[in-house]
């Protein structure tokens, strides 16, 4: 179902049962999976692939050239999974360097005016609220929540099941299972409500709450705190994930 006012390049590949609304523009190298629904006034261009069952609302832009001034040409891509929702005015830009990929997983919900810059890597079941912004090379883990008007600095990472509060300025990493807020953002506590909703066992939540206190509240150096958590990581996979994430940080954590 393609509205007569839509412009779809003959080279574009559309899956079965796609719905392309009025005034959409689909570029030559675009691939849409089955049952994608573009409501109207949507632009999808560049080397951009969407999986199945994505819903794209008016004035969304997917796959256009990076805003990074370091762009020198080449083939850059946007790869998007299945069952994502892109609300009004969302923008997802292509990567900067030849061969680079901006990647979005599946089952994500991007509210109006959110922005995903070049080379970001977003996992699955992520929620970004209105006007939240990811700068280039940001990595967002599965089930993370980024509240409205939050801004995330280049190369920052947001861990699995983490939450960033509204209007936050995030300049360092947010470890998995934690909640950060402020300007600049600091880690405030575990994402307790989010973990409960995700079905984490009370015992696991208690272990993570204790880990939070060890990392952020008892005055230990970061290395000493991590060493203390290492003692129990074999018994709790989440502790190992938390320690490994922090040890891999390049920008430091929002402590």
Residues designated as active site:
118-119, 136
SS3 state of residue 91: strand
CA atoms within 13 A on the CB side of 197: 10
List the structure tokens of 130. 């209105």
List the structure tokens of 123. 């996992």
Dihedrals phi, psi of 98, to nearest 5 degrees: -50, 125
**Cβ-contact 136, 100 below 8 angstroms:** no
Those residues whose C-beta lies under 8 Å from the C-beta of residue 133, and which sit 6 or more positions away, are: 114, 115, 117, 150, 151, 152
**Cβ-contact 136, 118 below 8 angstroms:** yes
- Candidates 131, 117, 124, 46; CA nearest to 83 is 124
CB atoms within 10 A of CB 56: 29
Those residues whose C-beta lies under 8 Å from the C-beta of residue 140, and which sit 6 or more positions away, are: 120, 121, 122, 123, 126, 134, 146, 157, 158
The alpha helices in 54-145, defined as continuous H runs, are none
The alpha helices in the chain, defined as continuous H runs, are 192-197, 202-216, 222-230, 237-247
């Amino acid at each position: 179902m393609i509205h007569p006012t839509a412009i779809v390049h003959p080279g574009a590949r559309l899956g079965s049962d796609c719905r392309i609304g009025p005034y959409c523009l689909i570029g030559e190298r675009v691939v849409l999976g089955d049952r994608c629904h573009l409501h109207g006034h949507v632009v999808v261009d560049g080397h951009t692939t969407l999986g199945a069952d994505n819903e794209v609302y008016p004035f969304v832009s997917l796959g256009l050239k990076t805003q990074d001034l370091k762009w020198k040409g080449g083939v850059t891509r946007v790869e998007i999974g299945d069952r994502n929702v892109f609300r009004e005015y969302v923008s997802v830009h292509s990567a900067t360097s030849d061969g680079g990929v901006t990647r979005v997983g599946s089952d994500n919900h991007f509210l109006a005016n959110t922005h995903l810059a070049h080379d970001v890597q977003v996992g699955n079941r992520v929620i970004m609220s209105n006007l939240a912004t990811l700068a280039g090379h940001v990595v967002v883990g599965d089930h993370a929540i980024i509240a409205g008007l939050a801004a995330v600095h280049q190369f920052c990472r947001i861990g699995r099941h983490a939450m960033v509060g509204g209007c936050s300025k995030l300049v360092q990493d947010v470890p998995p299972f934690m909640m950060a807020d402020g300007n600049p953002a600091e880690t405030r506590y575990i994402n307790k409500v989010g973990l409960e909703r995700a079905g984490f066992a009370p015992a696991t939540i208690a272990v993570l709450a204790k880990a939070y206190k060890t990392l952020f509240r008892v005055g230990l150096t970061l290395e000493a705190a991590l060493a203390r958590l290492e003692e129990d990581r074999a018994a709790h996979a989440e502790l190992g994930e938390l320690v490994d994430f922090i040890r891999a940080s390049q920008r430091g954590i929002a402590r």
